[in-house]
Structure 1
Amino acid sequence: MIEYMYSPGALVYVAGTLYVLGLVTINQVFLRLLILSGTCVYILYYATVAASPLWEAIYVSTLIGTANLIGLSSLLARRSRLAIPRAYADLYADFPPLPPGDFRSLMKLAHRYRVEDERQLTVEGEIGTRLYYVISGATRVQKGDSEFILPPQFFLGEIAFLIGQPSSASTWLEPGAEVLEWRFDDLQRKCARSTRFRLALEAAISVDLAQKVARAIGPNAVRPRPPEPAPPRAMVN
């Protein structure tokens, strides 16, 4: 029994056990590490089971291990904070559902800027073509006869982006506000190419929608709608 444990035949059971553990593991990193370990054990088995190494099996197993290693490296790189662009590192905490790699992809499509004057972003009853994320500054919201101010760190235009419905309110960035802007076309093309990116973006927007529902707008944040300017009087000669 002890002799068999140190024989090449025992390596098959070790490698098979590692493969089985990998296939029942949900975590992608652990799965790939276990499969990679099993592949290494199989290579050792092919090198020692016969009088001469089974080179064909070793070559194929090496190719499989290399492909697995490339996938593992890509997975780790996507999860590493090193993937976060420096120009947007200050915003990563605002997008908790997004892994660093998907955050990087999202920021590549974004245009970041600060407004000097009041700027309208959405029009009530109209379908927009851009998604916004307000980084800092105040946003004036007008819905029907009501008008109020929203604090920063929220999406605008997400309803039109997700389901193609018109905006429920008109919004204006007040002077000094900073915002991220994406074109719907760019985001939709990226979502079509990457299901993982689409799910991550939808998760981030869903969290924002939930926060909007939970956020109570206090009386200090609401102000009456400004009166319409009076029409000019006709000149009397």
Structure 2
Amino acid sequence: MRFYTDRVTSRTGGAVDISYLFTAGIFVQIALLFYVLGLLVRNELLLRGLLLIGTMFYILYYFFVSDVPLWDAIFASAMIGLANVIMILVILREKSTLGMSDDMLVLYGTFTTLNPGQFRKIMRHADWITTPEDLSICTRGVRSDYLYLVSKGQVILRDDGRNVAVGSGNFIGEISFLLDCPATADVIALQGTELVRWDRRKLMSLMHKSVRLSNAIGALFNADIARKLSVSWPKDQAHRE
């Protein structure tokens, strides 16, 4: 396919050839510009968006560069662009809470250090349980196989003859999980309490596979422990049995 060509006259009277701007070659230069810009940014979503635009201009170049489009090159570039589109959609999903149920949205509010994608990943390995009666979920001196989050209701922490009620939004067993040690207190989930439960080995395996997820969960548990220590065994709640 032929492109329109022309020449313009500069103020000094000399002719300036702008014909290149109307050839297929200009698409390569534009594609190169977007590729370079993409490689200069650190934001992954923006990077992929710029590379996708660059790929589109490469496709235009392969289509117009000769009388017969270069279909092999067009197909290869289209596949690269499609892979980029898929990853852009994955990134957008990881950053969005779209599709979460109301209960999941409320629960996600507890996971302040995780993005929606990381939250979905760990929730795929979680169990939701409701205690039919008072249930011991942690025993002091015994390593628990599970990590718990109180979703609704209360649990009672017992240590050295003192009891403290812990409500929703609190993790149970996070110290044992982080340090791989026995539980530091007895914990009783009261009847009707709703808990989210993770198998500690499965959760640890997820963390080993992703440094970002491991750092996010570690920061979450550290914040939870610090918050508990700031109100540790308050006198107005604790009492001797």
CA distance in 1, matches of 2:128, 2:105: 13
Report matched runs for 1:21-100 at 5 Å.
21-85=37-101, 88-100=104-116
Question: Comparing 167-176 with 124-133, which one deviates more in the overlay?
Answer: 167-176
Contact 1:132 1:180 in 2 (8 A): yes
Deviations 1:56-99 (A, max 9, x none): 22221111111111111222223332342565333122222222
Q: What's the CA shift for 1:192?
A: 4.5
Contact 2:97 2:105 in 1 (8 A): no
Matched, 1:4 2:4: no
Contact 2:176 2:184 in 1 (8 A): no
Matched, 1:171 2:190: no
CA distance in 2, matches of 1:163, 1:6: 66
CA distance in 2, matches of 1:112, 1:132: 10
Match of 2:159 in 1: 143
- Change beyond 3 A, Cα 1:140–1:47: same
Contact 1:150 1:221 in 2 (8 A): no
Contact 1:83 1:101 in 2 (8 A): no
Deviations 1:196-219 (A, max 9, x none): 544443343333233324446543
Letter in 1 for 2:94: R
Contact 2:147 2:199 in 1 (8 A): yes
CA distance in 1, matches of 2:163, 2:96: 42
Match of 2:168 in 1: 152
Question: Comparing 63-72 with 43-52, which one deviates more in the overlay?
Answer: 43-52
CA distance in 1, matches of 2:235, 2:153: 19
Q: What's the CA shift for 1:148?
A: 2.4
- Change beyond 3 A, Cα 1:49–1:172: same
- Where does structure 2 lack aligned partners over 5 or more consecutive residues? 1-16
- Change beyond 3 A, Cα 1:189–1:216: closer
Normalised to the residue count of structure 1, the TM-score between the two structures is 0.82
CA distance in 2, matches of 1:136, 1:145: 25
Q: What's the CA shift for 1:53?
A: 2.1
Match of 2:223 in 1: 207
Question: Comparing 105-114 with 120-129, which one deviates more in the overlay?
Answer: 105-114
Letter in 1 for 2:65: V
Normalised to the residue count of structure 2, the TM-score between the two structures is 0.80
DSSP-derived class of the 1:81 partner:
coil
CA distance in 2, matches of 1:66, 1:42: 14
Q: What's the CA shift for 1:220?
A: 2.2
Residue 107 of structure 1, aligned match among 123, 126, 129: 123
Contact 1:18 1:34 in 2 (8 A): yes
Q: What's the CA shift for 1:36?
A: 0.5
CA distance in 2, matches of 1:40, 1:97: 36
Percent identity for Structure 1 against Structure 2: 32
Aligned-residue CA RMSD (Å): 2.5
- Change beyond 3 A, Cα 1:140–1:33: same
Letter in 2 for 1:28: E
Match of 2:4 in 1: none
CA distance in 2, matches of 1:74, 1:97: 19
- Where does structure 1 lack aligned partners over 5 or more consecutive residues? 227-237
Q: What's the CA shift for 1:37?
A: 0.6
Report matched runs for 1:225-236 at 5 Å.
226=241
